């Protein structure tokens, strides 16, 4: 670990200074305070106010007076909250409504006075760039088109090979689309089709993903989760196949929003723009032709901070960084977690257990998280560990990966490997990943009775080819008393899974 985590933990990573982003959007004003600006961001506080600055802007070219008053009150409150939280730096950004309204400069001046600092006015290109940075920050090697739907505009940008191309901005934000169409859904669809159809990205997402960013789209996904009974209520990384999404959007567009099945899952303040968000998304996916829609909880705010990181920090894997921090804060001995990663790597290499690059990432993170549930009652450690991992605010991981890591650590505690423990979530894994979770857990179960979860022992164990056949895990003479019935029987359980002859001996 870096120097920032050398001191004893106290519930937060020491040495980190909180940073905040205040996002002045066309529909909402939001404050997000992060523990620090790191590769894996952790939110300390998050609050929004739906001021609706962009309401009526398409007709009047002005910011609504009541919306301005609401926004300024929110900004004064956010400033005080940030100061109270010990925020080192506030990054205030404003988007379409503030930059386009004729009274935008007056509002920005008043907003800067309320905050006591300058506000960065983002161009449409800036919004697209930071939306792309947010997706890159939140996913492992994303490939596809990112779309960020706000109240005033829709930004689209092509992401591939670790970078992104110049983005574009369209006047299709939820508030603006409603105003441009006079609230007529059919007219809104025509307006959206016209703009997206002429944007030059037609077919560019074919066979790739569309990364959906923005509150309205997240609420549409929440409604879809509710309707289909999806078992893992984590928005980031939620995937919906394009044909399924198209049919769902059609039902939202045609129906009465207040009577849609599952609508109680969406806050009342978000419902008025759902249909217009559905129109924008339907036009986008029909013209860009992605194979899957992937929800991103990270967008412009996180992208703005990501852009401030140095190259070394940006190159880190957000999943591994978050898992290591989680281990440092919750494990009995974080150094043991690191030793477990190394021991499992040596074991898999010796025994010829093949892994893809992503399987290795998941295995490394699962090892780092192997001891985060130790404070729970022994009867519940497995389930609590599963829940913490599956629902943690992790980035760089999809939903099957969450379940894999959670299930690995469930098995590591419980020891039973029978299917159907948590059937609705296990259904998110294919048979290969489920078997890999059992294999990794079985190896973890060999280690903990020999180490008590403390460092200094695993690094002394070594594998040796055995002339009798198979392999022997060699324990030094000084540690010979650790060889007992429990680790021996657990090694044999692992041996059956890996289909090798394995022994545990003192030499």
Question: How many Cβ atoms from other residues are within 10 Å of residue 494's Cβ?
Answer: 22
- What confidence score (pLDDT) does residue 9 get? 46
Q: Regarding predicted confidence, which is higher, 56 or 420? A: 56
- The domain ranges of the chain are 19-121, 125-303, 318-506
Average pLDDT of the residues of the chain? 93
Q: Do domains 19-121 and 318-506 have the same CATH topology?
A: no
What CATH number does the domain located at 19-121 have? 3.30.420.40
Q: Which two tokens stand for residue 463?
A: 């594998």
How does pLDDT run across 96-139, given as a tens digit for each residue? 889 999 999 999 999 999 999 999 999 999 999 999 999 999 99
pLDDT confidence bin for 2, thresholds 50/70/90 = very low
Record the pTM.
0.92
d(CA 102, CA 54): 12
Measured CA distances, 375 to 367, 385, 462 (Å): 17, 10, 30
d(CA 283, CA 446): 54
In CATH, 318-506 is 1.10.1200.10: no
Q: Spell out the SS3 assignment of 385-409.
A: HHHHHHCCCCCCCCHHHHHHHHHHH
Closest CA to 283 of 164, 179, 171: 171
Q: Where are the alpha helices (DSSP H) in 289-317?
A: 300-306, 311-314
- What confidence score (pLDDT) does residue 10 get? 61
How does pLDDT run across 176-210, given as a tens digit for each residue? 999 999 999 999 999 999 999 999 999 999 999 99
Angle at CA of residue 333, ends 327 and 337, nearest 5°: 55
pLDDT confidence bin for 14, thresholds 50/70/90 = confident
DSSP, residue by residue, 188-249: HHHHHHHHHHTSS-TTTTBTSEEEEESHHHHHHHHHHHHHHT-S----TT-EEEHHHHHHHH
Question: How many Cβ atoms from other residues are within 10 Å of residue 197's Cβ?
Answer: 13
At the fourth CATH level, the homologous superfamily of domain 125-303 is: Exopolyphosphatase. Domain 2 (3.30.420.150)
């Amino acid at each position: 670990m870096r120097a920032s985590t050398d001191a004893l933990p106290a519930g937060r990573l020491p040495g980190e200074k909180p940073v905040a982003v205040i996002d002045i959007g066309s529909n909402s004003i939001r404050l997000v305070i992060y523990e620090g600006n790191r590769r894996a961001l952790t939110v300390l506080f998050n609050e929004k106010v739906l001021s609706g600055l962009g309401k009526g802007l398409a007709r009047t070219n002005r910011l609504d007076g009541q919306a301005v008053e609401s926004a300024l009150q929110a900004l004064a409150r956010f400033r005080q909250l940030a100061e109270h939280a010990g925020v080192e730096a506030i990054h205030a950004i404003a988007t379409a409504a503030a930059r386009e309204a004729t009274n935008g400069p007056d509002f920005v001046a008043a907003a800067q006075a309320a905050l006591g600092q300058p506000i960065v006015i983002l161009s449409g290109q800036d919004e697209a760039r930071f939306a792309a940075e947010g997706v890159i920050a939140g996913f492992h090697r994303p490939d596809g088109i990112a779309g960020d739907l706000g109240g005033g505009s829709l930004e689209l940008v092509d992401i591939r090979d670790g970078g992104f191309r110049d983005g574009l901005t369209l006047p299709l934000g939820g508030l603006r689309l409603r105003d441009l169409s006079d609230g007529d859904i059919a007219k809104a669809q025509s307006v959206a089709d016209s703009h997206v159809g002429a944007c030059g990205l037609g077919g560019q997402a074919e066979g790739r993903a569309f990364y959906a960013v923005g509150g309205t789209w997240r609420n549409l996904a929440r409604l879809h989760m509710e309707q289909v009974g999806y078992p893992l209520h984590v928005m980031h990384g939620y995937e919906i196949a394009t044909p399924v999404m198209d049919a769902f959007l059609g039902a939202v567009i045609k129906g009465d929003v207040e009577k849609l099945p599952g609508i109680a899952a969406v806050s009342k303040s978000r419902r008025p723009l759902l249909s217009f968000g559905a129109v924008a998304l339907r036009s986008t996916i029909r013209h860009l032709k992605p194979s899957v829609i992937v929800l991103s909880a990270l967008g412009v705010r996180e992208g703005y901070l990501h852009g401030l990181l140095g190259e070394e920090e940006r190159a880190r894997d957000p999943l591994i960084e978050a898992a290591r921090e989680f281990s440092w804060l919750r494990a009995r001995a974080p150094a043991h977690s690191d030793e477990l990663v190394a021991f499992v790597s040596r074991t898999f290499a010796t025994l010829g257990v093949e892994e893809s690059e992503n399987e290795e990432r998941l295995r490394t993170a699962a090892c780092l998280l192997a001891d985060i549930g130790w404070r729970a009652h022994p009867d519940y450690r497995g389930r609590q560990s599963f829940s913490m991992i599956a629902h943690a605010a992790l980035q760089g991981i999809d939903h099957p990966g969450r379940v894999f890591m959670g299930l690995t650590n469930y098995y590591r505690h419980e020891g039973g490997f029978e299917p159907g423990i948590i059937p609705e979530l296990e259904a998110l894994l294919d048979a290969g990943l489920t078997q890999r979770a059992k294999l990794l857990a079985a190896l973890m179960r060999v280690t903990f009775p020999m180490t008590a979860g403390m460092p200094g022992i695993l690094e002394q164990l070594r594998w040796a080819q055995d002339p009798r056949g198979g392999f022997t895990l060699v324990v030094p003479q000084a540690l010979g008393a650790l060889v007992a019935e429990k680790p021996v029987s657990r090694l044999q359980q692992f041996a059956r899974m890996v289909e090798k002859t394995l022994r545990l001996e003192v030499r």
